[in-house]
Amino acid sequence: MIDTHAHIYASEFDHDRDDVVRRALEQGVEKILLPNIDLESIEPMLKTEAAYPEVCRSMMGLHPCYVDGNVKQTLDVIHSWFDKHNFIAVGEIGIDLYWDKTYKAEQEMAFITQLNWAKEKKLPVVIHTRDSIEETLTLLRKEQDGSLSGVFHCFGGSVEEAKAINDLGFHLGLGGVSTFKNGGMDKVIPHLDMNYVILETDCPYLAPVPHRGKRNEPAYVSLVAQRIADLRSCPINEVTTVTNKNVNQLFLL
Ligand SMILES: [Zn+2]
């Protein structure tokens, strides 16, 4: 299995990161992909990647919740990192209208700018949306010239939204929300095209059942795979085989 979205460089893991990575490997999680957030997260992310070079791979991008009035200068610094280091994706980027709409215009500008980096660098994008799937799809439709690929991470939308995302050539990242009893995903997951599904945790957030509310970690991606298998009445190895295939098509690991 591959955890395609894990913030194990966060301070929540400072006291036991070795154990967290060991438990992931014991659980059959071979790779852990690290999405960047802002300027502050770059150093701990790259240190974590360097500490576990066989397991961790970094992305580079500016998260929409960290877009503010300084967005142009921040994007310049983030962009300069692509010349200094190999990244597997532009991420995480996107639109978040849940927390704060103050910088909506700046969020859109940052998203489009980073989509263009992805075209220039021939990298996939890892997209964060919250209360913004429609806005994000509208922007993506304008920018999709056939060369963009990527994933809507932490997908918790409807079957129709999943289809709209897939029609644009984009994948769905399923995580802990898929296991929540009131998440509504039990009605959605049986109808998804599995050729567009990849697994993630988004740790330390959104721990799957039965760890809901506690710190999440990459080993728990197996609980997400098991939940998908249960909802689709298939063996778990069918889920891990197809999601691994999808990850290897999307990312150059
Ligand atoms: Zn994230």
Find out whether 24 and 3 touch, Cβ atoms under 8 Å. yes
Distance 3 CA to ligand 1 centre (A): 12
Binding residue per annotation — 3? no
Distance 153 CA to ligand 1 centre (A): 8
Binding residue per annotation — 7? yes
Give the 3-state secondary structure of residue 251: coil
The pLDDT, as a whole number, for residue 253 is 84
Backbone angles phi, psi at 21, to 5 degrees: -70, -40
Instruction: Name residues whose C-beta falls within 8 Å of residue 96's C-beta, 6 or more positions apart in sequence.
Output: 64, 65, 107, 128, 129, 130, 131, 132
Binding residue per annotation — 85? no
Nearest CA-CA partner of 9 in 76, 37, 92: 37
Distance 201 CA to ligand 1 centre (A): 9
Binding residue per annotation — 5? yes
Distance 163 CA to ligand 1 centre (A): 22
- Per-residue burial over 179-216, b if 16 or more Cβ lie within 10 Å, else e, is bbeeeebeebbeebebebbbbbbbbbebbbbebeeeeb
- 72-102 pLDDT, tens digit per residue, is 999 999 999 999 999 999 999 999 999 889 9
The pLDDT, as a whole number, for residue 100 is 84
Q: CA–CA separation, 112 vs 219, rounded Å?
A: 33
Q: How far apart are the first and last CA of the chain?
A: 13
Find out whether 43 and 51 touch, Cβ atoms under 8 Å. no
Q: CA–CA separation, 253 vs 248, rounded Å?
A: 7
Edge-to-edge strand list for the sheet holding 170-174: 90-96, 125-130, 150-152, 170-174, 197-199
Q: CA–CA separation, 32 vs 110, rounded Å?
A: 26
Distance 200 CA to ligand 1 centre (A): 10
Diameter of the chain by CA atoms? Answer: 50
Which residue segments constitute the domains of the chain, with CATH numbers given? 2-251 (3.20.20.140)
Binding residue per annotation — 153? yes
Binding residue per annotation — 15? no
Residue ranges of the chain whose pLDDT lies below 70: none
Distance 53 CA to ligand 1 centre (A): 20
Give me the torsion for CA of 66, 72, 77, 80, rounded to 10°: 120
The pLDDT, as a whole number, for residue 198 is 98
Distance 242 CA to ligand 1 centre (A): 23
The pLDDT, as a whole number, for residue 19 is 98
Instruction: Name residues whose C-beta falls within 8 Å of residue 194's C-beta, 6 or more positions apart in sequence.
Output: 232, 239, 242, 243
Q: In the chain, count of helices (H) and strands (E)?
A: 9, 8
Query: 121: buried, middle or exposed (CB in 10 Å: 19+, 13-18, 0-12)?
Result: middle
Radius of gyration over every alpha carbon of the chain, rounded to an integer in angstroms: 17
Cα torsion 190, 195, 200, 202: sign? negative
